[in-house]
């Protein structure tokens, strides 16, 4: 028996759904319908139908993007990859410019970014791949890149936008950072309540007054938060009598000397006859260790081969 839904927010979202012209607009409205659908037992069938409808629309969006893939720029995933997502005119281009100096175009016109913009963020001798994606509510949003990202940076002008962005995101296990822009438009009491809301949600968050006037210390704080979402260790290599390489290898925690050798070149560990190590995992600088020695962040290793 059909259930009669009288919730005004549900009915409003349902009207938006039937008036939608694109699948992206339908998905936004459908997510609102699901959030306002009856939670009692009588509403189970309705929620199930809406969820199935959402899955079908998501599949249609993914198929459309795969057909268009030939026209997109190829992006090879780096060891550390974070994506910036948000609605149109949320400040995504300004943010990637601040973090990477990539120099992307900034415009007050909606949906200016048509393709993913790739930049490199430098932090503590490490390079991270940062990608600005087109507006999440638009047809150019790249869901496939979000699927493989390690970290997602959600950028919004209002706290309420975070929920809307989350409902549009593909499901994955990436770490999330919530960045709220334009807090300079709020008074002290509004900022206090906003801070409390973010804490109650246990968000990993940064509140920014204005991206246009962001101070260096806040830029560094945001870079630090992004970097800390990656569960990695940095391992440097060096040649005998020379300084360590400028860029580290990115390894998983508890990696060994053998793992590092194999990352340099498959089969390389079989050629190693001696390894010296400097850094947190060594008892003293230049300690000779075996292939099973467990590495720590910022170690420096020197291989001697046959």
**Angle, vertex CA 274, rays to CA 270 and CA 279, nearest 5:** 115
**Whole-angstrom Cα distance, residue 198 to residue 178?**
9
At 116-175, the pLDDT tens digits run 889 999 998 899 999 999 888 777 777 888 888 999 999 998 888 998 888 888 878 899
Give pLDDT, residue 113.
65
At residue 143, the pLDDT reads: 81
Least confident of 95-109, 159-173, 202-216, 286-300: 95-109
Walk me through the domains of the chain, giving residue ranges and CATH numbers: 8-67 (no CATH), 73-228 (3.40.50.300), 233-305 (3.10.20.30)
In the structure encoding, which two tokens stand for residue 34, read together? Answer: 């699901």
Q: What pLDDT, on a 0 to 100 scale, did the predictor assign at position 206?
A: 87
**Could you tell me the pLDDT band of residue 1, with boundaries at 50, 70 and 90?**
very low
Query: In Å, how far are 74, 77, 199 from 92, measured between CA atoms?
Result: 20, 20, 23
Angle, helices 8-19 vs 23-36, to 10°: value is 170
Confidence at residue 164, expressed as pLDDT on a 0 to 100 scale:
86
Q: What is the pLDDT of residue 169?
A: 85
Q: Which two tokens stand for residue 215?
A: 């101070």
Average pLDDT over every residue of 291-298: 97
Dihedral, 88, 90, 93, 97 alpha carbons, nearest 10: -170
Task: Tell me how far apart the alpha carbons of residues 141 and 293 are, in angstroms, rounded to a whole number.
Answer: 44
Let me know: does 32 contact 13? Beta carbons within 8 Å.
yes
Flag whether pLDDT at 200 surpasses 60.
Answer: yes
Tokens of 12: 């409003």
**Which of 9-23, 156-170, 282-296 holds the top average pLDDT?**
282-296
| Predicted confidence band of residue 43 (pLDDT cuts 50, 70, 90) | confident
Sheet-wide strand order for 249-251: 249-251, 233-238, 299-305, 272-278, 287-289
Tens of pLDDT, residues 228-275: 999 999 999 999 989 999 999 999 999 999 999 999 999 999 999 999
Residue 125's Cα: distance from chain center in Å?
A: 20
pLDDT confidence of residue 4 = 62
**pLDDT per position as a tens digit, 49-97:** 888 888 888 777 777 666 555 434 456 666 799 999 998 888 888 889 8
The confidence score (pLDDT) of residue 75 equals 61
Radius of gyration of the chain (CA): 24
- 99 and 223 in contact (C-beta within 8 Å)? yes
Residue 236 pairs in a beta bridge with 300
The pLDDT assigned to 70 comes to: 43
pLDDT of 221 over the 70 cut? yes
Q: For residue 110, name the pLDDT band (cuts at 50, 70, 90).
A: low
Q: Report the C-alpha gap between 65 and 72 in whole angstroms.
A: 9
Tokens for 90, please give them: 């949320």
pLDDT of 66 reads 61
């Amino acid at each position: 028996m059909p259930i009669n839904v009288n919730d005004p927010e549900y009915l409003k979202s349902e009207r938006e759904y039937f008036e939608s012209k694109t699948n992206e607009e339908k998905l936004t409205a459908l997510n609102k319908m699901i959030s306002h659908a009856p939670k009692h037992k009588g509403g189970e069938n309705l929620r199930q139908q809406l969820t199935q409808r959402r899955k079908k629309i998501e599949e249609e969006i993914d198929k459309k993007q795969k057909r268009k893939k030939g026209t997109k720029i190829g992006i090879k995933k780096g060891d550390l990859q974070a994506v910036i997502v948000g609605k149109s005119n949320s400040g995504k281009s300004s943010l990637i410019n601040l973090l990477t100096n990539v120099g992307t175009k900034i415009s007050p016109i909606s949906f200016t970014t048509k393709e993913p913009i790739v930049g490199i963020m430098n932090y503590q001798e490490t390079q991270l791949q940062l990608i600005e994606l087109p507006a999440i509510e638009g047809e150019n949003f790249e869901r496939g890149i979000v699927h493989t990202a390690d970290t997602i940076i959600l950028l919004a002008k209002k706290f309420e936008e975070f929920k809307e962005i989350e409902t549009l995101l593909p499901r994955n296990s990436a770490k999330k950072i919530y960045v709220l822009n334009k807090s300079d438009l709020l008074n002290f009491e509004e900022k206090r309540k906003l801070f409390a809301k973010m804490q109650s949600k246990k968000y990993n968050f940064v509140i920014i007054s204005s991206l246009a006037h962001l101070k260096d210390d806040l830029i560094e704080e945001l870079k630090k938060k992004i970097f800390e979402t990656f569960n990695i260790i940095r391992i440097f290599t060096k040649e005998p009598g020379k300084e360590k390489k400028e860029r580290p290898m990115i390894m998983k925690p508890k990696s060994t000397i053998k793992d590092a050798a194999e990352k340099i070149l498959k089969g390389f560990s079989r050629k190693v006859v001696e390894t010296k190590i400097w850094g947190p995992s060594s008892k003293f600088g230049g300690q000779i260790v075996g292939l099973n020695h467990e590495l720590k962040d910022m170690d420096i290793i020197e291989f001697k081969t046959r």
